[in-house]
Each structure stands twice: as C-alpha cells, then as structure tokens.
Structure 1
Amino acid sequence: MKNKLSILFLLVTVFAHSQNVFNKKLILMGSSFEITVVAKDSTEGFKHINSAISEIKRIETLISSWDSNSQTSLINQNSGIKPVKVDQELFDLIERAIKLSKLTNGAFDISYASMDKIWKFDGSMTKMPSEEDIKKSVEKVGYENIILNKEKQTVYLKLKGMKIGFGAIGKGYAADKAKALLIKNGVTAGIINASGDLNTWGTQPNGNDWMVAIVNPLNKSKVFSWFPVKNRAVVTSGNYEKYVRFNDKLYTHIIDPRTGYPATGVLSVSIFTKTAELADALATSVFVMGKDTGLDFINQLNGVECIIIDENNKIITSNNIQLNTQN
C-alpha cells in the first residue's frame, strides 16, 4: 500500500546532558529503525535498547508475510480453504485494522496485499495499464472478505489467492509495542523511530520536549516546520521519489485499494495522534482520499491532526495545528 520513508523526519535534540541520552540505529523489519532512550548510564541505556529490539523482532515474527512459518503467512496460505487459529495479539491487530477500514471506507485495507502489481515506479512504465487490467488487479482486495471468529480466535480469507499484509501498519504497531515495553521497564523518556513511524514519551534530559521537523518533500534539506512532540506519535507518508506521470498527471506509488488507481494530488501526509499504529493507517488513508476529503475526515476525529503537502508544494493543515514555518 505504501513504501515508508526513512528520511521525512529530522529529530532535533538538544544534548545539554548528552551522557543521559543513548541511541542505536539498525535495520529491523527490513527498514531503518532508531531507538533512543534516556538513562543514567550506558549500561542501563543499551540494556533497554536491546529489550526494545527484541520486542520489535518478536512483532516481525508474528506479522511477517515473507516468513512462510508466520501466522500471517498461514492465514494467506489457507485463503479460500479454511480458517486459521492465531494468537490473541494478531487477532486483535487484524480486528482493529478492519475497524479502520470501515472508518476510512476502505481507503485503508490490509488485504491490499492481494493486489496485482501492475504499476511500476522504477522508470520502466511507458504507458498506463488498461482500465480492464486495473479493475482486475483489485478483484481479491476487500476487507469485507476477512472473516473473524472471536470464539474460536480464527481468521479466514474468503477468496482463494487473497492475502493480508501489514506494510501500512506493522512498523507503527512495532513502535507502539516497543515504547510500551520500555515504559513498563521504567524508561522515563525516549523515541522509537520506525523508518518514519515515530513515537515519543517523556522529555529530553534538559526538560525540553523532543522536536520533530517536517521536511520539504521536494527538497529534503529544507524544513517546512518543526513541532514539539510529547507522548505523541507522528507518521509521514510521502511519494516524492516514487511516481509516474502520464498526460501531465502525477500518479504516486500509493495505490487506492478500492480502485487499483494510484493516489494523485498529494506529495506527503503527516499525522499526529496518540499511537503510531493509528497514525500509520491514517497517513495512508488521507493520501488515498486526497487533500479535500482527507482533511475533512481528519477534522472529524478527536485527538488527530495532520499536515498535507499537495502536488504544488502547498502546505494544508487540519484544525488545531499551529505552524512554525522555516525559511
């Protein structure tokens, strides 16, 4: 559904007491992660960081669709055949994903993984796919065909060849789980940056809030605006590198799972809310909905704000956001 960006966030941190801030960058879930914690010394700091890494790896084992032995893969392998019993954690994640699909009228849909990949964003496309091929590409997509049985704790995909995937929600979920574990273990402040799915808590050692900068999607060295972020998640979805253009119209790599057509008119969407899982899903949804429908949708949700940058590089914000723009 979308290709996450690892560079849309610039963390602005004041290291007045840098000996109390410890971080580590590494590849997890096939993407760049950075884990930052505040601790009294390096022994404690990296002990906590390593526990967060273990938690993220556990999540990956659960939701991975490329691991043939994962529960997610077993669900996909049995599509159109039989229900699959899963852990309560995975069942609950899928149940929340279906609720988000209903909330967004299908703009977010974990069954997007069933989509035929007929759009190429590597420069090889010379013409648009046919209308017939586009329609056919989403025949097996549809959250309505994900059947949950609460009593038996099973998941069943009704259509043969149907698949689910967590590419548009999994990293946000992993960030939330890592944060929750660290808080449980007594870490008072930190940041989980899951390749652009970012969750924060507490403050910097000097008492200042963590700061996050939204960069210009057309010029990664330019900052549009910065925000203090405290006990909040921020997720940005963007398309400025992966797109095709036909008849002077830009088509992004984020595909509408309802139609098979790429989203148009938007360069990036940043969502601010309580959890990275929710922000992850909503960033994709707003991108697919477009700036007008997406903005109206966000303005109806409590505790959610967004910044949209349209194809003309214009900044559009939801209610209750105050921009501190940078030149």
Structure 2
Amino acid sequence: MKSFLSSIALLLFFVNLSSAQVQIRRSMTLMGSVFEITLVDKDSSTANLHIDQAVAEIERIENLISEWRPNTQISRVNQNAGIKAIQVDSEVYDLCKRALYFSQISNGAFDISIAALDKIWRFDGSMEAMPSEAQIQQSVAHVGYQHIILDSTNSSIYLAKAGMKIGFGSIGKGYAADKAREVMKNLNITAGMINASGDIASWGEQLNGEPWTIGVLNPFKAHKMIKVLKFKEHAVATSGSYEKYVEFNDVRYSHIIDPKTGYPSTGLVSATVYGPSAEFANGLSTSVMVLGAKKGIKLAKQFPQYRFILIGDNKKIYR
C-alpha cells in the first residue's frame, strides 16, 4: 500500500491564459505522511520538474533525520545511545540544537527524546482502562532532553543514557516544508505552497491573484471552520487531539504525550500557530498543546511574529 501511495496520488492544474502560467498541485507520500506541493509556474512540464526537485529536497532531509531508516545519521545516534557521541552534518546538529531550545523554553513540554516513550496509550479504540501509575512512570524512563549532549566543536550528538532515542516527528515535516520552499524560491518560482500533512509553508499568490487560504477546523462541528487564514509568504502548523484521543471519567486524553509525566495532554483539543517558519510554528504548537491554555499562551506571546488560535476541550477559543 505504501509503495502505491508513494506514487503520484493527485495532480491538479489550472491555466491562466493571459499570463501563460499554470498552477499545479501534486500529492505524494513522504516522511510517512501525505505531502501536497502546489506551484505556480510557466508551464506544466516545467512545474513538474520543479516539484520533482522539491520532492528530492524532502527526501534528502528524510535520509538525514529519519529514526526509522537504519542508515540515517539520527539512527546512528540512537544506535549508540549510552555508548559514544556520533558526528553529524551541521544541518542535523543545528536542527537538534533548535529542538533543545524548544525544550528549554517550554520547560520540557517539547522533547525529541520522547521517541523512546513506551507506547502504553492506545488511541485506536481498544483501551478499556487507564494505565497504572507505575506503567506511566516507567514509560518515560528513557525520556529526557537533559541527557542529549551536543558538542559544537565536533558537531556531534551523544545520548547519555542507554535506551534513549530521538526523533523529529514534531518538527521534521515543518523543517522539510521550509526547506522545500527555500529551494523553490532559489529557483525563482514566484509562488507555491508546501503542505506537509498540515505543516504548511507558502509564498507568493495563487494563479488567480488571490492569497493562499487555510481553514482552521472546528473540532466540535464537522466541516466547519473557526477561521480561514489568508496570506502570501507564511507558515502554519496545527497540533490537535480531536482525531486521536481516549476518554476516561469525562476527561479527554490526547495522543500528544507530556514528555515529563507520560500522561497525555488535556485541556486543549487544537493549537494552530502561524508565522514565518513552519518548523518553528510546529514546535510552538506542540509545546502549547502540552502546556495547556494558560501556560501555552504565556509561551506563545513571547514570539510576536507568531499568532495562535487555541481551542479548549470546553469549546472555548483563545486567539
């Protein structure tokens, strides 16, 4: 099934006869998720070649940071947890450094070492009871960003505890969207949008001269929007629990786990953050979901370039 999804799943294009340009959108599976790449270009053949280059950039990043592919630099870091530091490319080192920055400013609500979390929570409808306190505490035994040691002199990453693991599921797709946008702009593509399963980076205008539009879903009303965002060069990321969650004693527990406690986040069902970078917006939205409305808003307000729309499980909307 995956090999089928990896092929072109969707190809749409629109032609503007007056400007002799086209707008093409292609969908494919990358980094284990569905990506949609939309470009405004001079013709369909050129646009498809440029989309191929965007795809190549995303695949290049996946081959650096995937913890699922055994030969990536991050996999080598994980394989040597508690053993030795692994030298990595400056790009990988810097991404890890930015991830640790999010851990620091969120007081551990964001943590790439959560990749080592024991999967005791299931969000497929099969859970019938809460895990025990002992199980929850044990699940985070190998989680802790404080044990990720960076050495700038050697450009190396060391996981100080055996059994640790890091992964970039929280910001990797946003980073890939940012980088693909950068590559396209360097090729003088005047407009487009990279949608990495909801982590979105856009620039320019649509073929019809309109801004790009992104709808913020209302999790309590199917097919309804809280807000429609309209922008040119911008980025958006949403973290939410409205699709994957469990409920016990009238409390909703989301699939987004607090790395410090092992408990799922509660209080918010959705956090949308938008601003210049999809990577940064993604890190901020994940942090806010774990922190909850009060602490999350306090954190988000430290970054005036970014705006937020939070939706509480009590249906309250914070802007």
TM-score interval w.r.t. the shorter chain? over 0.9
- Give the counterpart letter for 2:159 in structure 1: L
3-state DSSP class of the match of 1:301? Answer: coil
Aligned 1:141-180 pairs, distance under 5 A: 141-180=143-182
Q: 2:308 aligns with which of 268, 288, 306?
A: 306
SS in 2 for 1:20: strand
1:221 alignment partner, SS class: coil
- With 266-275 and 19-28 compared, the bigger mean Cα shift is at 19-28
- Which sections of structure 1, spanning at least 5 residues, go unmatched? 1-14, 318-327
Query: Is the Cα–Cα contact under 8 Å of residues 175 and 198 in structure 1 kept in the other structure?
Result: yes
Instruction: Report the Cα distance in structure 1 between the residues aligned to 2:256 and 2:79, rounded to whole angstroms.
Output: 25
Contact 1:16–1:206 under 8 Å retained in 2 = no
Q: Which residue of 2 aligns with 1:47?
A: 49
1:121 aligns with 2:123: yes
Mapped partners of 1:148, 1:293: distance in 2: 28
Which range moves more in the overlay, 265-274 or 216-225? Answer: 216-225
After TM superposition, the structure 1 = structure 2 runs for residues 89-100 of structure 1, keeping only pairs within 5 Å, are 89-100=91-102
SS for the counterpart of 2:202 is strand
Q: Secondary structure at the match of 2:164?
A: coil
Query: Which stretches in structure 2 are left out of the alignment for 5+ residues?
Result: 1-13
Partner of 1:66 in structure 2? 68
| Structure of greater relative contact order (alpha carbons < 8 Å, 6+ residues apart) | 1
Query: For the Cα contact (< 8 Å) 1:110–1:165, is it kept in 2?
Result: yes
Task: Give the aligned partner of residue 17 of structure 1.
Answer: 16
1:189 and 2:191 aligned: yes
Per-residue deviation, 1:313: 2.4
The Cα offsets for residues 249-305 of structure 1, whole Å up to 9 and x where unpaired, read as 111111000110100011111001111110111111000000111112212222011
Distance 1:73 1:304, change over 3 A: same
> What letter corresponds to residue 74 of structure 1 in structure 2?
R
Secondary structure of 2:285's counterpart equals helix
Structure 1 Cα separation of the partners of residues 201 and 220 of structure 2 = 25
Distance 1:213 1:292, change over 3 A: same
Instruction: Give % identity.
Output: 50
Q: TM-score, normalised by structure 2?
A: 0.92
Q: Secondary structure of 2:78's partner?
A: helix
Equivalent residue of 2:97, what SS? Answer: helix
Query: What SS does structure 1 have at the residue aligned with 2:224?
Result: strand
Which residue matches 2:30?
28
- Give me the whole-angstrom Cα distance separating, in 2, the residues matched to 1:266 and 1:35: 30
CA distance in 2, matches of 1:227, 1:16: 24
Counterpart in 1 of 2:274?
A: 272
Amino acid at match of 1:175: A
- Deviation string 1:179-202 (CA, Å, 9 cap, x unpaired) is 000000111110000000000111
Does the residue aligned with 1:213 lie in a helix, a strand or coil?
strand
The two structures have a TM-score, normalised by structure 1, of: 0.90
Q: Deviations over 1:230-259 (max 9, x none)?
A: 211001111112111111111111100011
1:315 match: 317
Aligned length: 305
State how far apart, in whole Å, the 2-side matches of 1:308 and 1:142 are. Answer: 27
Verify the 8 A CA contact 2:15 2:22 in the aligned structure 1: no
Q: What letter matches 1:119 in structure 2?
A: W
CA distance in 1, matches of 2:28, 2:176: 14
> Could you say what the CA RMSD is over the residues aligned between the two structures, in angstroms?
1.6
Shift of 1:16: 8.1
